[in-house]
Structures are given as structure tokens and as C-alpha cells.
Amino acid sequence: MKKVRLILGDQLNYRHSWYKAVDDNTTYLIMEMKQETGYVLHHAQKLIAFFAAMYNFATWLRRKGHRVIHFKINDPENRQSLIENITYVMNVCGATLFEYQLPDEYRLDQQLIQWCKHNAIDYKVYDTEHFLSRREQLAEFFGKRQPLMETFYRDMRRRYGILMAGDQPEEGRWNFDTDNRAAWKEQEPVPPALQQHHDYRTIWQEIEKAGIESFGQNKADNFPWPTGRRQSLIILDYFIQKLLPAFGKYQDAMHTQQRYFFHSRLSFAMNTKMLSPLEVIQKAEQAYRTGNAPVAAVEGFIRQILGWREYMRGLYWAHMPAFSQKNFFSHANPLPGWYWTGQTRMNCLHHCITQSLEDAYAHHIQRLMITGNFALLAGIDPAAVDAWYLGIYIDAIEWVEITNTRGMSQYADGGITGTKPYVSSAAYIHRMSNYCNKCHYNYKLKTGKQACPFNSLYWDFFDRHRSLLEKNPRIGMVYRTWDKMQPAAKAALLQQAATYQEQIEEL
């Protein structure tokens, strides 16, 4: 029986059991498609990275002797749509069986379910053999009563025996968060980021020839991201040896001289499945067991992957498609134009956005407490915020983007992901970064022309959403402080926020 097996762009799992045996009746189908390049405006590096990683994967499969059809974006047979291409290839191959791995994106999952349902052809669905929790287990975990992230994470630690001493957590603690999160004051040297140096100018020319729109720097002549398994392992080993020992300590730090600090930059390699989360976790654990990294750093890193990454996926499948429409605060303001250029006098935003345009990367706290924080305080429509995050970051795939953006960062889900909105005034940004030192605005001022916009927008946010937030036990303190302020001071803050909202494009 002839069969076609579909491989989506984020299903580049080199160790999947599919590839163990070579079979002449099986054709693997990999496709660059306008359907995928056009559903949101993508960063140029994101387009190149996916196309290059798919090309490398197809080449690897062919070398192993597998039959592969790899549609390049400008191939004449390429119908540019998932379903039309599958239909065409099934006919060309004379296939009667269609097989695919569970997509991680709801949109693609639905397309395939519908097509298989309305088609007379036999089909079979496989696991991607990537995540530590299987789709059906997620329904069980998140079905009736959603666990807190910490409960979920501890359960995963026990289940996989990660950082455990018998049935107790290693060194007696589940969570070393309080040991982490220092500001960086240039006191500790940061090893240089390991960049790769690919020449992907041909891929970029094909993207341009196809008329695909994009934004951000393409860096095609000296492309820095890993796009294959071997390259991903090099980045992983470098991280474990050089960066992991100080990972936790400066996890939240931001600085104009440092873009990556001790972050791993492994999200693209993991999200495309070139690296498995378990191998990354096990290497980190081994560094602890061999005395090469302290428990606080290793636990902090493992929590991001075994905890947050798996947890976000659970939330996604438990709450989609409704999640993508959530707008708890009914925010409807447009995204300021400078999110696409970095041209703002607010130094923190200028720095984080410019870096994102140049690198297709920002670390977690830059995403959460700078760009996300401002968008939430300014009442930006979460759909516009989602589209921006989904486009700009190299690692942005909806299951992990939307849960972080609409959920964690914008609180548009009303508390499904987090227990309170992640917002701050300038004080936090000043404490965790040096951005305020060279800013047009003054982080200490709340009103007046030089006042930092975060300060008045912060109070305006809490004031206008009082009915939605004041009963939240984690926020009570904010309202007690607000209520103690003099009426004139409150009015001045709200007036300042209104002025900044009117002038938002000029900030």
C-alpha cells in the first residue's frame, strides 16, 4: 500500500520512530507554503530559519534513503495550500493511505481533521514524540480542574524523576526562584553568544521572488540561528558549559550592553523539534550532578521547560479556540506604529524593539515586562499584540505564543494563565535594567513633560479596571495605595495618562 506522510515545518524531529526504517512505498511530504508565510507578517529571519531547517531535514531524509517530496516556495507544482498540496501529492504517488503527526497548532489540526473526515482515503495519526506530556494526558490534567503551574511542574518532576532525591526534590526544595533574579551591574562577565554563520542568501532570494512580505533584518549572508540537528546540539552544549551556571541569577536582568545574558536561545531548535525537551533537561541535570552548575540555576532552567513550556501547551489545548478571542479588559486601542520600527523616545521600548527587529529575539522579561507591559497598560487590542509577537520572534508558534501573550502577558484570559496581570511602573524597569539611565523620560517623575509614561499609565490601568481587579487578593495593596493618594494627585496622574494616550504615536 502506498502512503504519504506529512511533515510540518515545526515537526523536524530527527529521532522520530517514523524514520527508523526505509520503505519505498512511503513518500514524505515537506512544503514551503504561502498559506504559512501569509497568515501573519513574519520576521525575515523566522521565514529563513523555517525554510532552511525544512531543507536540511529533507536533505537528511534523502541521505538516509527515504523518498521525499519537498515543495520549495516557487516550485510550479506547489499549490501553496496544505490541503491542495496533500491532495495533489496523494494522486501523483497513487497513495491510498495518508499519515500525519498531531499538529501543535489548532488551525492546522482542524484543517487536517476536516480533510480526513471528508475524504475517502484511509488515514492514521501519530504522536510527534517530542513533548513530555501527550495530548490525551493533557485533557486529563487540564480537563476538570486546571492545576496551578507549580503543581503541574512538581508532578512532572516526580513522573520523570528529574532533580529528585528519592521522592523528595533535590536539596530539599522544589523551587529556587528566590535565589535568582538579580540585576546585572556589569559585575560578572557574560560569555559571548554562540552565533552560527550560514549563507542563506539563496533562500532569501527565493522568498523575495515569491513576493512574501516580511519585516526585520534578514541577516541572510551571516545567519546566526541553528537550522539542523548538529548545529542545535552545538548551541545546547555551549549553553550547558558556559551559560547554565549563571542562568537563574540574571534571568530577569536587562541591560543595553547585553542582549542574551545567560539565556539559552534554544527555543527555535526546540519548537521545531530539532532538539527534544527531555534531552535538554537531562543535559542540564547532568551538569548539576557532575558539579558543573548549581542547583538553583539548573532548577530554574528546567522549570522553564518541564514546567512552563509543557504547561502552556496544556492550557492551549484545554482552551482553544475560545482562547484566541479572549479580551477580559475589552482593550481595543491600535498598536503604536513604533512597535514596528523601534522609533520611540522610551529607551526601554526602543532598545527591546530594535533588538527584536535585528535579532528576531528578546528574552522573557523583555517580552513580558517591557513590550508586553506597555501594551497592557496602554489598552492595546490583544489581537494586535498577538499578531506582533507571532510575527516578530524566531520561536513564535501559536501554541506557545498566544498562551504567553494573550494569557501571561496581557491577562486577556482573565486569569487562566496567571493569577494577576504582569504590569509595573518605571520602578521595576529601573531596578532590573540600565534603560532608564539614558532615557528621554525620568523614571522618578509621575507627571509633567519628562515623566515616564509607565508611571501614569500604571495607575490609570488600575483605576479604569477597578471593577474587574479589586477583588483579586494579589492586587489589594495597589488599590489601598491608590485610595490613600490625595484627589488632586490622582487627577493629575489620570490627566497625564490621558495626554500620553493621545500622543502615543509620539512617545
Q: Residue 232: which of ligand SF4, ligand FAD, none does it interact with, CB under 5 to 8 A by kind?
A: none
Query: Omega into 321 within 30° of 0, i.e. cis?
Result: yes
Q: Which lies closer to ligand FAD via its Cβ, residue 200 or residue 301? A: 301
Q: Where do the DSSP E strands lie in 347-445?
A: none
| 401 binds ligand FAD per the rule CB under 6 A | yes
Q: Which residue is associated with the grid cell 475560545?
A: 322
Q: Which lies closer to ligand SF4 via its Cβ, residue 162 or residue 365? A: 365
Rounded Cα distance between 60 and 37, Å, is: 23
| 464 binds ligand FAD per the rule CB under 6 A | no
Q: Looking at residue 255, what DSSP letter applies? A: B
What single letter denotes the amino acid at residue 283? Answer: K
Shortest Å distance, C-beta 294 to ligand SF4: 31
| 36 binds ligand FAD per the rule CB under 6 A | no
Residues of this chain, 287-326, that bind ligand FAD according to CB under 6 A: 304-305, 308-309, 312
Contact with ligand FAD (CB under 6 A): which of 11, 218, 264, 496?
A: 264
| 364 binds ligand FAD per the rule CB under 6 A | yes
Which residues make up the interface to ligand SF4 (CB under 6 A)? 346-348, 426, 429-430, 435-436, 439, 441, 443, 452-454
Q: Which residue is associated with the grid cell 535568582?
A: 180
Q: Which lies closer to ligand SF4 via its Cβ, residue 232 or residue 409? A: 409
Shortest Å distance, C-beta 263 to ligand SF4: 21
Phi, psi dihedral angles at 169 (to 5 degrees): -65, 150
- What's the grid cell of residue 76? 510550479
- What's the grid cell of residue 230? 548538529
Q: Looking at residue 198, what DSSP letter applies? A: B
Q: Which lies closer to ligand SF4 via its Cβ, residue 287 or residue 429? A: 429
Contact of 267 with 446, CB cutoff 8 Å: no
| 263 binds ligand FAD per the rule CB under 6 A | yes
Shortest Å distance, C-beta 203 to ligand FAD: 22
To which H or E segment does residue 486 belong?
none
Contact with ligand FAD (CB under 6 A): which of 70, 255, 367, 430?
A: 367
To which H or E segment does residue 218 belong?
none
Q: Residue 329: which of ligand SF4, ligand FAD, none does it interact with, CB under 5 to 8 A by kind?
A: none
Rounded Cα distance between 48 and 9, Å, is: 12
Shortest Å distance, C-beta 124 to ligand FAD: 29
Sort strands 97-101 and 3-7 into parallel, antiparallel or unpaired.
Answer: parallel
| 47 binds ligand FAD per the rule CB under 6 A | no
Positive or negative, the Cα torsion across 232, 236, 237, 238?
positive
Counted residue by residue, the chain has a size of 507
Rounded Cα distance between 109 and 107, Å, is: 6
Give the residue among 288, 250, 247 at the shortest CA–CA distance from 164.
288
Of the listed pieces 27-35, 217-225, 388-396, 479-487, which binds ligand FAD according to CB under 6 A?
388-396
Q: Is 243 helix (H, G, I), strand (E, B) or coil?
A: helix
Shortest Å distance, C-beta 323 to ligand FAD: 14
Sort strands 168-169 and 164-165 into parallel, antiparallel or unpaired.
Answer: antiparallel
Q: Which lies closer to ligand SF4 via its Cβ, residue 203 or residue 452? A: 452
Q: Residue 348: which of ligand SF4, ligand FAD, none does it interact with, CB under 5 to 8 A by kind?
A: ligand SF4
Shortest Å distance, C-beta 499 to ligand SF4: 15
Give me the residues that bind ligand FAD (CB under 6 A), please. Answer: 263-267, 270-271, 304-305, 308-309, 312, 363-364, 367-368, 372, 389, 393, 395-396, 400-401, 404-405, 408-409
